[in-house]
Amino acid sequence: MINTGWGEKPKSNQYFYTNLVKRQGILLILLLLISFGTSCRRRNNQISIDFPVSGSGVGYASRFTIDVNDSYTRLEIIEPWQGADGVRHVYFLLKEGAILTDSLQSNAIIINVPLKSIVCMSATHVAMISALGMEETIKGVSGIKLIANPSVHNLVKTGLIMEVGYEESLNREAILKMNPDLFMAYGVGSESAGYLAKLGELGIKIMLNAEYLELDPLGKAEWIKVFGALYCLEDKADSIFRAESLRYENVKEIVEASSLPRPKVLLGLPWKDSWYISPGNSYISQLIEDAGGDYLWKESRSQTSMPLSLENVYIKGLNAGFWLNPGSARSLDDIEITDRRLSNLPAFKEGNVYNNTKLLTETGANEYWEKGSTCPGLILKDIALILHPELFPGDTLMYYIKLNRK
Amino acid sequence: MTKIPSYYQTQIFAENPVSRIYFGFIALTVLLVIFFALDIFSGSIGISPAETLNILTGNSDSPYSAIIMKFRIPKALTAVFAGVALSVSGLQMQTLFRNPMAGPDVLGISSGASLGVAFVILGFSSLIPAGNISGLGNWLLIASACAGAGIVMIVIMLLAIRVRDILTVLILGIMIAGGISSIVIILQYFTSETMLRAYVIWTMGSLGNLTPDQLRILGITITAGLLISLVTLKMLNALLLGETYATSIGVNIRFARGLVFLSTSILAGSITAFCGPIGFIGIAVPHIARMLFRTSNHKVLLPATIITGAIVMLLSDIISQLPGSDKVLPVNSVTSLLGIPVVIWVIVKGRIIKSAV
């Protein structure tokens, strides 16, 4: 299941390899020529250690900072997993031709950019790379079934992208063989835990993407700047992000200007006795707030979703006019099957239950999650449209769907 | 192996004074009523006792009435059923296997149920996406748990018919459970995080998820299981003195085993199917009942185990609701944390462990 066809893949990999070696050979010659040509200038170009530590170039995101220099970019990823207090990963993105002093090399990871090959573990990484138009650099993904992006699917079909598995069932040998410029993962525990340590030992450069931990929707979207730096497409990334933040702020302003009453919103679906509730300091809570809703648990603070008792959520849910993201439910009947008592909630009775499953594919991929990271403005617009349809006359939902009886 | 356990032997003939037994039962019944009420009156939402009484007497239409009538009462009833069923199964297993550590799971019921549920939650999810098992309702889980428990139980019972030595049956049961947990681990390994969480939550047990229909079915099956266990009372008393003795006074050992297995399967099987695995109640409660009444006469022990089981389960549920907080604890952990000290106490006391092996 995890090892997708050792038999057929090596051919294309080998082709890719010889090609890479050739290309690298040419590159090396070019590099030598450039370094000869610039050898007198190089001394001035050498990087000093006292760089600015401020988070220049970052507005909404709280989990990374980027500092751009002439020949290199310093990227710092802050607390890349839940509970990684004070942990900082520093990367120096080295553009072709630039050379770092030894003193810096010892305490940071150096990545040569632009990236020519990458393996990424999350559909949101794929979405951002795709937004920059660099899909062809993706050599391996994790969970192809859960990726909605059609151009990536085409590359998988032609054998240019390989499924590498996930976590403990990661196909390490295949990744070693690919030898990507960067292996982008997301941190769910300490870096030493499990599968990453081994890959790092084997010389694969690893970056823990903390985009999923951003609490601000635009903070998530701003991670495209990290990819911009990795592909030397900073301007493109900046303009994509600027357009997206404009779209987001625009919807937010329309809602704020209307000063309509804020309907209360319930989220999620219980499993057995417990109802895992997203806290008030979460991404979805922020979206509801900005879309002119009043999330029932907006006051709560927690690092993870909180297991609350069913009766507790039920009694609060009696006040909610809207119910969003009810787990895997595709219809009102699905909710009723989960727990018949839930059909007494007013949002259910009035049919104000919406799930983000409009674009859910047969295999379980959902563009909602991918767009949620690159285009939060579109998601915000959907939620605002659900809560205040009168503000957006004539518009239709893109990612959400109203649940009906079967 | 035919050595008669001295603990049971001495105790069975040393009956307590009748007054002690009466007093014990009256006290336990009062406690049962108190705990049942406490379970309804307390919960994560604070509802004043006066309002709760109004709701119970039908004089209130506050929004809290749904909480009392649809959440807390069904949950308390489920707790009573679960406590009674698991404790009685444990008592029967301990006597039949003449082992103080035997519990309902000796027959592979909860490992079988976990296999069935694992196949549905974990197995399918690796083949079809999570979104497609929407409305993963109660009934599907119950059916899969029943199927899993049923298959494993039948295997163990067939072995029990062929194997004469009861200890061999015990070991076979443990081995089969071990094999099953390995299969479940493989399924867990290949599944998605969401489904893994769903499965793990199932293993934590849950009392508050039954619909009125399911509660009715559970009530009927538990009653049936208890009726069968009543029939086995005499045989269990005879078995305390060893299989040879039981045979000599005319007990058909295979018939007795079959009846006890049937009763336990119905009792523990239906609880595991509806509520998930709930640990240590089955092992600990019979010991508590023995301590309270200082007897191994099943005519006293069975009703004592029934009432004590209900009380302990209600107490576990009250604790798991963490009254005053909006969080809940998994009930399976609460029962284990309550039950384990009892079991340790029994072992440390040594009076049973010495004699039973």
Question: What one-character-per-residue DSSP string does B173-211 give?
Answer: HHHHHHHHHHHHHHHHHHS-HHHHHHHHHHHT--STT--
Asked if residue A163 lies in contact with residue A142, where contact means CB atoms within 8 angstroms, the answer is yes
Q: For residue B215, with 0-12 CB atoms within 10 Å meaning exposed, 13-18 middle and 19 or more buried, which class applies?
A: middle
CATH class of A243-402: alpha beta
A145 touches chain B (CB under 8 A): yes
Per-residue pLDDT reduced to its tens digit, B306-340? 999 999 999 999 999 887 777 888 899 999 999 99
Number of other residues whose CB lies within 10 A of the CB of residue A61: 25
Spatial separation of the C-alpha atoms in residues A250 and A244, rounded to whole Å: 10
By Cβ distance, the residue of B63, B132, B134 closest to A318 is: B63
Distance from the A95 Cα atom to the nearest Cα atom in chain B, whole angstroms:
38
Distance from the A94 Cα atom to the nearest Cα atom in chain B, whole angstroms:
36
A82 touches chain B (CB under 8 A): no
Spatial separation of the C-alpha atoms in residues B188 and B182, rounded to whole Å: 10
A328 touches chain B (CB under 8 A): yes
Residue spans of the domains in chain B: they are: 16-354
Per-residue pLDDT reduced to its tens digit, B1-46? 444 444 444 455 455 677 888 899 999 999 999 999 999 998 888 8
How high is the ipTM of this complex? 0.74
With beta carbons under 8 A apart, name residues in chain A contacting B209: 272-273, 339
By Cβ distance, the residue of B67, B130, B197 closest to A311 is: B67
Give the CATH fold of the B16-354 domain.
Answer: ABC transporter involved in vitamin B12 uptake, BtuC (1.10.3470)
Spatial separation of the C-alpha atoms in residues B325 and A403, rounded to whole Å: 32
Long-range contacts of B244-252 (CB under 8 A, 24+ apart): B244/B2, B245/B4
Distance from the B93 Cα atom to the nearest Cα atom in chain A, whole angstroms:
29
Q: Are strands A64-68 and A72-78 parallel, antiparallel or unpaired?
A: antiparallel
Q: Are strands A206-208 and A182-185 parallel, antiparallel or unpaired?
A: parallel
User: E-strand spans in B270-347?
Assistant: none
Best of A3, A82, A275, A309 to disrupt the B interface (most B CBs within 10 Å) is: A309
- B257: its two tokens: 């085993």
Q: For residue A1, with 0-12 CB atoms within 10 Å meaning exposed, 13-18 middle and 19 or more buried, which class applies?
A: exposed
CB contacts under 8 A, A 216-275 vs B, are: 271-274
A344 touches chain B (CB under 8 A): yes
Number of other residues whose CB lies within 10 A of the CB of residue A289: 18
Asked if residue A128 lies in contact with residue A223, where contact means CB atoms within 8 angstroms, the answer is yes
- A380: its two tokens: 């915000």
pLDDT of residue A198: 77
pLDDT of residue A42: 34
User: E-strand spans in A127-241?
Assistant: 138-141, 162-163, 182-185, 206-208
Compute the residue count for chain A.
Answer: 406
Residue spans of the domains in chain A: they are: 11-233, 243-402
pLDDT by position in tens, chain A (length 406): 333 333 333 333 333 344 444 444 444 444 444 444 333 333 333 343 334 344 456 789 999 999 887 778 889 999 888 877 888 888 988 888 777 665 565 667 888 889 999 999 889 999 999 999 999 999 999 888 888 888 888 888 888 898 888 766 778 888 888 899 999 988 776 655 567 777 888 888 989 899 988 989 999 999 999 999 999 999 999 999 999 999 999 999 999 999 899 999 999 998 877 888 999 999 999 999 999 999 999 999 988 888 888 888 999 999 999 999 998 888 998 888 888 899 999 999 999 999 999 988 887 788 898 887 899 999 999 999 999 999 999 999 999 999 998 7
Start-to-end C-alpha separation, chain A? 34
pLDDT of residue A18: 40
Q: Using the beta-carbon criterion (under 8 Å), do B71 and A310 form an inter-chain contact?
A: yes
Residue ranges of chain B with per-residue pLDDT less than 70: 1-16, 123-138, 350-357
Spatial separation of the C-alpha atoms in residues A334 and B122, rounded to whole Å: 19
Q: Using the beta-carbon criterion (under 8 Å), do A309 and B72 form an inter-chain contact?
A: no
Spatial separation of the C-alpha atoms in residues A173 and A282, rounded to whole Å: 37
Spatial separation of the C-alpha atoms in residues A355 and A346, rounded to whole Å: 16
Name the CATH superfamily housing domain A11-233: Nitrogenase molybdenum iron protein domain (3.40.50.1980)
**Nearest residue on chain B to A143, judged by CA atoms?**
B192
Among B1, B87, B12, B21, which residue's Cα sits nearest to residue B240?
A: B12
Bridge partner list, A74: A67, A92
Cis upstream peptide for A114 (omega within 30°): yes
In this chain, the answer to whether the domains covering A11-233 and A243-402 adopt an identical fold is yes
Q: Using the beta-carbon criterion (under 8 Å), do A274 and B328 form an inter-chain contact?
A: yes
Q: Using the beta-carbon criterion (under 8 Å), do A273 and B198 form an inter-chain contact?
A: no
**Residue A92 is inside which H or E element, if any?**
strand A88-95
Q: Using the beta-carbon criterion (under 8 Å), do A273 and B207 form an inter-chain contact?
A: yes
Spatial separation of the C-alpha atoms in residues A74 and A104, rounded to whole Å: 11
Best of B204, B326, B327, B329 to disrupt the A interface (most A CBs within 10 Å) is: B326
